[in-house]
Amino acid sequence: MGVVRSVGLRLASLRPLDRRLLALVGVFLFTRLVMAFLAGNPSLYTRSGPAVAVDVYLYRDWGTQIVASGGMPYSEVPIEYPPGILPFVLIPAWLLHQLKVPFLLSFVVLMTVVDGLGLLGLQRLGRRWGSDLGAWLWVVALPLLGPIVLLRLDLVPAVATIWCLERAAAGRWTAGGMFLGFGCLAKVYPVFLLPAAIVIAPQRRRLIQGALAVGLLGIAPLVGSIRAMATHVAGYHADRGIQIESLWGNLLLLADRLGYDATVRPGFGSSNITAGIAGTVKTLSTVLSLVVIALVVWMALRSRLRGDPQYLAATFFATLALLLVTGRVLSPQYLIWLLALAAAAAHLLQRRTMALLLTAILLTHLEFPFRFFDLLSGEPVSLAVLTLRNACLLTLAFYAVRAWLAASGTRSAGGSHKRQLTVAMSRSLAGQRPDDR
């Protein structure tokens, strides 16, 4: 009783800020322990559902071929991701080969560490911007997507974008460019955020230098495999079809219910949909995605908030929200990317945007893995779940873009929200420490 009373007195003596941080860390540790247990025991999690850990076994095969057999990445071991992911594949493979540590266990632990680094980046960002909402959003919302979070490599680029914004908020644009460059090395999607970052950054040369330095450093050891790397990475993503979980695939599934001939076929590690109009839809998706990038850059060039890291965060979030709904692939783990940027810009987002994101995450978890096989067979309830999820993402993209346009100062509509964003940014900037400027 004396020990309990002593601990209670110590907790009571903590400042409110310290107590909030302690609560944040406590919730993080509890939720991640549960997530790690479920991720490490995938058969207990889904039983009759799809194998949620199937990608981990693919990573294990890549790592084993490189570590144990001496295969050269890309030229001898075909890998569909850029070289930034190699450390996160090779470390568990080395532990398996040298110490007999199960690959799944070490991979889950490694991803949990990356998850913790994401929280650290958001906590530092929130301290600079005067709000811990983003850190709490990350801690609470990420588990709603399920243990798939710790069974994919998508946490790596997501956390890299968080740290890009954290360094930008500190005025360290070279480091911000380095983190964004590393994100590009880990997955393809941060490449589409890079043009806006270059336009908005007040120290463009430093951001570009940082991104180039990391990019060249990551590619240099594989210079002899560049052609194979381009084939396996760029070629793989260019050749992918229309995934059924994307907005386009969803529309074709609905059309199939109305009598249009659309067939679900496996390919590229996912389930894609083929139809007479599929080629046209694929082209339209690509064109719209390129238009999104061009429009974002054009609007950012016209903005009065160029140079503001908070504006950069809002731009990243709006850009990615649009790219997810225009893209022809929308895997469940892609929501990790969006959540990372939403958490970074959380204090600038409206409540309805937050509600839409949380709803989309929950519906995504329900759709995969629990109702995925039913979706493949065209079961109406599963199709309704997917349709509602994509409707949430489409609506979220609309509100994200509207808020971003208001923040950019390029239109007069939505004046009250514009003032809200401007006040939030001004207060945050005023609260920066001298050494952060």
Q: Residue 2 domain-assigned? A: no
Is residue 316 over pLDDT 80?
yes
Q: Residue 10 domain-assigned? A: no
Sheet (strand 242-243) strand order: 242-243, 270-275, 262-267
- Averaged confidence pLDDT in the chain: 88
**Phi, psi dihedrals of residue 84, rounded to the nearest 5°:** -65, -20
Predicted local confidence at residue 45, as pLDDT? 81
Predicted local confidence at residue 121, as pLDDT? 98
Q: 101-123 b/e with 16+ CB inside 10 Å = b? A: eebbebbbbbbbebbebbbebbb
Q: Residue 64 domain-assigned? A: yes
Domain count for the chain: 1
Predicted local confidence at residue 362, as pLDDT? 98
Does residue 339 sit in helix, strand or coil?
helix
Predicted local confidence at residue 261, as pLDDT? 87
Q: What is the pTM of this model?
A: 0.90
Cα gap 205→208, rounded to integer Å:
5
Is residue 9 over pLDDT 80?
no
Q: Residue 224 domain-assigned? A: yes
DSSP H or E segment with residue 275? strand 270-275
Whether residue 320 contacts residue 338, with contact meaning beta carbons closer than 8 Å, is answered with: yes
**What share of residues in the chain are helix, strand, coil (percent, to 5)?**
75, 5, 20
How does residue 277 score in pLDDT terms, banded at 50, 70 and 90?
Answer: very high
Domain extent, residue 311, equals: 17-436
Structure-token pair, residue 104: 């799944």
**Tell me: the pLDDT tens digits for 338-392?**
999 999 999 999 999 999 999 999 999 999 999 998 998 889 999 999 999 999 9
Going by C-alpha positions, the residue among 410, 211, 188, 421 that lies closest to residue 314 is 421
Contacts for 66 with CB less than 8 Å, ≥ 6 apart: 72, 73, 77, 86, 89, 90, 93
Q: Residue 188 domain-assigned? A: yes
Q: Residue 32 domain-assigned? A: yes
**Tell me: the pLDDT tens digits for 35-58?**
999 999 988 887 666 778 899 999
**Tell me: the pLDDT tens digits for 77-88?**
999 999 999 999
Does residue 243 sit in helix, strand or coil?
strand
Structure-token pair, residue 137: 């959003």
For β-strands 262-267 and 242-243, DSSP reports them as unpaired
How does residue 15 score in pLDDT terms, banded at 50, 70 and 90?
Answer: low
Q: Residue 232 domain-assigned? A: yes
Q: Residue 9 domain-assigned? A: no
Predicted local confidence at residue 433, as pLDDT? 36
DSSP type of residue 276: T
